[in-house]
Amino acid sequence: MRSFAFHRPTTLYEMSALLGGVADSMPLAGGMTLLPTIKQRLAAPAALIDLSNIPQLHGISAQADVLTVGAMTRHVDVAESELVRSKIPLLASLAAGIGDPAVRNRGTIGGSVANNDPSADYPAAVLALDATVVTDRREIAAVAFFRGLFETALEPGEIITAVRFPVPSAGGYAKFKSPASRYAVVGVCVAKKAGKVRVAVTGAGPGVFRVAVMEAALERTFTPDAIAAIKLGAENLSSDIHADAEYRAHLVTVMAKAAVKSALQTS
């Protein structure tokens, strides 16, 4: 690999000073995307700022009906957390389905959300659960955070410190996964809270998006049948070796129904 410097700050203050002060530096979370990206020479940072030794970025906590997950919390920790399982079971099962065991032992929620891969699982949950992305500078509502293909509202040098999830009254996540990578060919997260329903889709297009027509139908009747006849147009969806846009449009309805079914079973 191309050589780079490596820094391991232990405070957010030290981290900010390094990210702001070292030219061409990048924050390193679990490295499950960044390191392969550097190997492929799609990124060439002069320095990596490792976030793993900053205590404030770790851990899971709950206050009343809000679950807070620190940015450096790994997928395996979310998947196995009794607190997550009791508060938002869909989040634990989503984390348990990311990649493979070795990837879940390193990959983090903050890294996944900041990267905003169009086929990543977490963005669908963040958007459907109306979560708040907390950074070292401010708080960003999920609707304002995701800006399309690998784009987010994060500014240069700004890092996610935690994600705050309101606990829904019902919620589910279903994905049709690539058998090789376990990335979502299409993944749909459905969440219901105080009569409002959100449906967020990952994998189908250039970035996570909501389906207003399904949300309205589910607010009237929260059953799989309520959305069975709703089909997305294929025009803005992705086509690749795994599935063409027409098939992805079909899968959105199938996965949305499965997510609602799961929500009804776990609520």
Q: Can you give the binding site for another protein, defined by CB under 8 A?
A: 1-6, 8, 28, 31-32, 35-36, 39, 48, 50, 52, 76, 99-103, 105-106, 180-182
Two structure tokens written together for 266 = 């776990």
Two structure tokens written together for 195 = 């009569």
Provide CB contacts within 8 A for 41, sequence distance 6+.
2
What burial class does residue 157 get, using C-beta atoms within 10 Å of its C-beta: 0-12 exposed, 13-18 middle, 19+ buried?
A: middle
Q: CB 179 → another protein: shortest distance, Å?
A: 9
Q: CB 218 → another protein: shortest distance, Å?
A: 31
Nearer to another protein, 5 or 212 (CB): 5
Nearer to another protein, 106 or 250 (CB): 106
Nearer to another protein, 35 or 83 (CB): 35
Residue among 13, 18, 85 at smallest CA distance from 47: 18
Q: CB 48 → another protein: shortest distance, Å?
A: 8
Q: CB 79 → another protein: shortest distance, Å?
A: 12
Q: CB 94 → another protein: shortest distance, Å?
A: 15
Nearer to another protein, 182 or 250 (CB): 182
Interatomic CA distance for residues 88 and 68, integer angstroms? 11
Q: Are strands 25-28 and 47-50 parallel, antiparallel or unpaired?
A: parallel
Interatomic CA distance for residues 34 and 47, integer angstroms? 12
To the nearest 10°, report the CA torsion of 264, 221, 95, 130: -130
Nearer to another protein, 36 or 55 (CB): 36
Query: Please, what is the end-to-end C-alpha distance for the chain in angstroms?
Result: 48
Nearer to another protein, 23 or 180 (CB): 180
Nearer to another protein, 18 or 126 (CB): 18
Rounded to whole angstroms, what are the CA distances from 90 to 171, 190, 220, 246?
6, 9, 22, 27
Q: CB 34 → another protein: shortest distance, Å?
A: 10
Q: CB 96 → another protein: shortest distance, Å?
A: 9
> What is the biggest distance separating any 2 CA atoms in the chain, rounded to whole angstroms?
57
Give the residue carrying structure tokens 């049948």. 225
